[in-house]
Amino acid sequence: MLLAIDIGNTRIKYAVFENNTIISSHFFLKEDFLKEIKIILNKYKNVSNLIVASVGNIEKEAFLVFKNRIKTHFITHKDKFPFVNLYETPHTLGIDRIVLASGATILYPNQNRLIIDAGTCVTYDFIDSNDNYFGGAISPGIRLRYEALHNYTVKLPLLTKKEPESFIGNSTSESIHSGVIEGLTNEINGFINQYSIKYENFIIILTGGDADFLAKRLKNTIFANSNFLLESLNTIYQYKIKND
């Protein structure tokens, strides 16, 4: 059994895999890291390997407490990946984006792929049918947009995610909801349209914490899978076994 861990900017997500099937998945806060990992390992005693992708501030040393219990694999820029990295600054490419690109390359072969990860930030990553990774875009996610409006103005309230009643906001709160949600929706649709002009055929994978919320708002046919990064970690683990 394999334990996959995604350490993000705001929380930690995990999935336990058995024969490439997720049998358990959830998330927890960073301050509960050690306690939660111990609970998972005590519950799933057949877990023998751990694979970690981290963009957060939990370092490798934090996992040393488990070194006698489980074999740990960290995704780094030095690993082998199934795509050709054409990013001009490859060592600045986020580990999360590398994992997503790897998963899309392996799981959707011989296709143009656009991965949209809607989390703290919204990232766009494009890999063509020849497995060339070109890069994409990074923009603020839903929560950051709400927080920016509150933190950088004097009177705008801090709101939480909510479906706007109309794209024409008839109050300050509704105007904020429309600006944030409709704004991001139009951004995503706009990027998809730009890619569709240049590439006739490509698949769109939508993932991240806000994937399910956004999926129903998008015009284009997409694969919405909030666990795609964790599934990609499992895929990379299998890839590493075959290529190490």
Using only C-alpha atoms, what is the Rg of the chain?
19
Judge whether 96 counts as a catalytic residue. yes
Query: What is the distance between the alpha carbons of residues 103 and 232, in angstroms, rounded to a whole number?
Result: 4
243 burial via Cβ count (<10 Å: 0-12, 13-18, 19+): exposed
Choosing from 32, 79, 96, 210, the catalytic residue is 96
Angle at 137 between CA 126 and CA 239, to 5 degrees: 40
**How many CB atoms neighbour CB 64 within 10 A?**
10
Contact 119, 8 (CB under 8 A): yes
User: Residue 84's beta-bridge partner residues?
Assistant: 132
Query: What is the distance between the alpha carbons of residues 172 and 185, in angstroms, rounded to a whole number?
Result: 19
Closest by CA position to 75, among listed 89, 54, 100, 92: 54
Phi, psi angles (nearest 5°) of residue 232: -70, -35
- In this structure, what token pair is assigned to residue 124? 């766009």
Name the residues annotated as catalytic: 96
